[in-house]
Structure 1
Amino acid sequence: MNFVESTEQLELRKAVAAMAQGFGKDYFRTEAREGRSGREIWLEAGRLGYLGVNLPEKFGGGGAGIYELALVLEELAASGCPLLMMVVSPAICGTIISRFGTEEQKEQWLPGIADGSKIMAFAITEPDAGSNAHQITTTAHPAPDGGWLLSGRKVFISGVDHADAVMVVGRTSSAEGYLRPALFIVPTADIEYQPIAMELVSTEKQFMVFLDEVALPASAIVGGADADLQQLFAGLNPERIMAAAFSVGLGRYALARAAAYMKERSVWGTPIGAHQGLAHPLAQAAIEIELAKLMMQKAACLYDSGDDRAAGEAANMAKYAAAEAAVRAVDQAVHSLGGNGMTVEYGLAHLVNVARVSRVAPVSREMILNFVAQQKLGLPKSY
């Protein structure tokens, strides 16, 4: 594994950072507080090829990998513009369609996902089946016309209000009577949804989704009615990697804001950054962010090499490490500014909730610890 990024990757980092900084450090926060979606920066990222950098060139993408897409999100987050729907639309949905979709599905969705003109949400979590995908009850039954009738409920689904369609994780009945996992592309216009009130400053809202005998054509299913879990995790492993990129970038942003303040803020003629009581905790947080970033890069390299099994372990570890590091980095950054850390002017306090969410979603830290305990250490299941 080469720890030195290529010239192209380094140039991509610089270009993405320059684009985000062109919108200004307060652009994203203002968009969120005023209830807007940040659509201008989303479309600009798409126009410049950043949203679809991981998608096939044949369908308007950049032909690169999850490594490059994670790099884009990290730099956006480090510039104060974390586009959460990048985790969902190009990383999960775009990847699944690229790997398992029909030619028609690829032609219909991938070019729009790549240039930002189309957004696809992803719906897996249910009120009674959070991290346990085996207990999903959303079910599709064959319709008389050869299509499907899809029913169920989903919760904490991001960005439905701005999505053209939702990729829904459901089940179909087998000839033996048991339920098999399946993935459906459902136009947003065909579903009902309602927002969930959140104590969170974000451009992406969370929704409950209601599916009541939604009629879908046979072509709505991705990868066939007998899709196995491999197809699902083809999207969930990139999700974990992108979540880690989100957290790494968030941590970098918070540390940079705190360091800049600590260089300028003086007490009795000395910059407060010279005091080890403040400098050392911030340095420790920086080390933890860099270590998490290394695991994120390892996971992305493994995934792009085609080693799904090894990528799954590394992706979960990266997501865990990055979330923990981001929470500590944001907390220390806010603390370093004292009372100013809690003001709107300095733009750090709202990150406390954002960083905390990264420990819970898209998979909780406890479920990752369960995974590592069982898969890495060979310990028995507790459930």
Structure 2
Amino acid sequence: MALVESEEHKALRASVAALGKRHGRTYDRQQLWAEAAKLGYLGVNLPEEYGGGGGGIAELSIVLEELGAAGSPLLMMIVSPAICGTVISRFGTDTQKQKWLPGLADGTRTMAFGITEPDAGSNSHRITTTARRDPDTGDWLLTGRKVFISGVDIADATLIVGRTEDARTGNLKPCLFIVPRDADGFERRAIDMELNAVEKQFELTLDDVRLPADALVGDEDAGLLQLFAGLNPERIMTAAFAIGMGRYALARAVEYARDRQVWKTPIGAHQAIAHPLAQAHIDLELARLMMQKAAHLYDAGDDIGAGEAANMAKYAAGEACVRAVDQSVHTLGGNGLTREFGLASLITASRVARIAPVSREMILNYVSHQTLGLPKSY
């Protein structure tokens, strides 16, 4: 892993930053999505043979970070090309790859991801969405509920995490299914959120949703491996989302601190203002280093090493983002709460990276158990 970005990565970062600057904070999601797709940014991590850029999560995280730093993040990048595109490209059948990957790469198709349930958040072993075979047709029948599923209204399908019964043990094991948005028995209800985001959150109900046998992604006996192959990119991309948001807020605060003059010098000359902003910058840079390490390990095929680093990156980026946003709002004072400066809405948005897709407490549990070897309390 190089500690200095390659010229290719620097060029990608600069070109995406220019795209984000053109759209800015008041961006139109559909227009930006279409332009980013046309430039090849949405599918930069997907295989070239299916229209992608042939890169990895390292490149995709640069795209999301720079769009976020411009104030125009595309949250569905975390879900559609990063989670779903990665899972299908690694484990999908040839038919699934041919059907979905070109559209995910060029932005004409999107896919949502459904894992969280009312009683099964961080504990995936409590997932109750089940899939059973129809003995007469070989079809799958899915039944269950999901909550806090992003972008279902704009997605062509949702990659649903369910469980099937192991014929040998009788135990339930995780499996992934592609559920088209118009499937019979597949219903969605928007969740009323305080969070002001372009992408909406939904509760899903699956009532004996009938799917063909080839809706199952990959091997029925390797569902857990396939699931975590998608969750590691999710954590890395969430880190990119948080770092970009933190950079956006910090840039607004630095600009304000340079110009705002109350006494003899701009307020940025006072250490009470300057030092917290400098610390926020340091925290964001450190989080980015861990994110880059996680992306490098994942793209190199080290799923175990990437799991640890991805969790750490997500934790560090979430904390750095919240602190950067809070300090930026505080730097602007009353102006930090106005629509004109566009920071107040980030107070709520910045908490997303602390909460989703896994809470900071569960990451601390992971590190204490997996890295430090401490016993579990649950």
Match of 1:181 among 174, 181, 196: 174
Residue 336 (1) aligns with residue 331 (2): yes
Q: Which residue in the other structure is 1:66 paired with?
A: 57
Aligned length in residues: 374
Match of 1:158 among 128, 137, 150: 150
Q: Which residue in the other structure is 2:78 paired with?
A: 87
Kindly report which structure 2 residues correspond to 1:112-127, keeping only aligned pairs within 5 A, or say none. Answer: 112-127=103-118
Q: Which residue in the other structure is 1:327 paired with?
A: 322
In structure 1, distance between residues paired with 2:309 and 2:303: 10
Shift of 1:228: 3.3
Kindly report which structure 2 residues correspond to 1:171-320, keeping only aligned pairs within 5 A, or say none. Answer: 171-175=163-167, 176-190=169-183, 191-320=186-315
Shift of 1:43: 1.1
Shift of 1:54: 0.3
TM-score by length of 2: 0.98
Q: Which amino acid aligns with 1:68?
A: E
Residue 351 (1) aligns with residue 346 (2): yes
Contact 2:25 2:70 in 1 (8 A): no
In structure 2, distance between residues paired with 1:277 and 1:221: 57
Shift of 1:82: 1.1
Q: Which residue in the other structure is 1:34 paired with?
A: none
Q: Which residue in the other structure is 2:87 paired with?
A: 96
Residue 22 (1) aligns with residue 26 (2): no
Shift of 1:84: 0.7
Match of 1:147 among 139, 149, 155: 139
CA RMSD of aligned residues (A): 0.8
Shift of 1:236: 0.2
Q: Which residue in the other structure is 2:11 paired with?
A: 11
Shift of 1:227: 2.5
Q: Which residue in the other structure is 1:128 paired with?
A: 119
Q: Which amino acid aligns with 1:69?
A: L
Q: Which amino acid aligns with 2:175?
A: A
Q: Give 3-state SS (helix, strand or coil) of 2:162's partner.
A: strand
Q: Give 3-state SS (helix, strand or coil) of 1:266's partner.
A: coil
Residue 76 (1) aligns with residue 76 (2): no
In structure 2, distance between residues paired with 1:340 and 1:271: 16
In structure 1, distance between residues paired with 2:190 and 2:26: 23
Shift of 1:39: 0.9
In structure 1, distance between residues paired with 2:330 and 2:348: 15
Shift of 1:4: 1.3
Contact 2:116 2:146 in 1 (8 A): yes
Q: Which residue in the other structure is 1:167 paired with?
A: 159
Per-residue CA distance 1:205-225 (angstroms, 9 max, x = gap): 000000000000001000132
Runs of 5+ unmatched residues, structure 1: 32-37
Q: Give 3-state SS (helix, strand or coil) of 2:55's partner.
A: coil
In structure 1, distance between residues paired with 2:264 and 2:137: 79
Shift of 1:343: 0.3
Shift of 1:269: 3.4
Deviates more, 1:121-130 or 1:137-146: 137-146
Q: Give 3-state SS (helix, strand or coil) of 2:372's partner.
A: coil
Shift of 1:5: 1.2
Shift of 1:180: 1.2
Match of 1:50 among 31, 37, 41: 41
Residue 366 (1) aligns with residue 361 (2): yes
Q: Give 3-state SS (helix, strand or coil) of 1:313's partner.
A: helix
In structure 2, distance between residues paired with 1:327 and 1:159: 24
Shift of 1:268: 2.1
Q: Which amino acid aligns with 2:328?
A: A
In structure 1, distance between residues paired with 2:26 and 2:40: 21
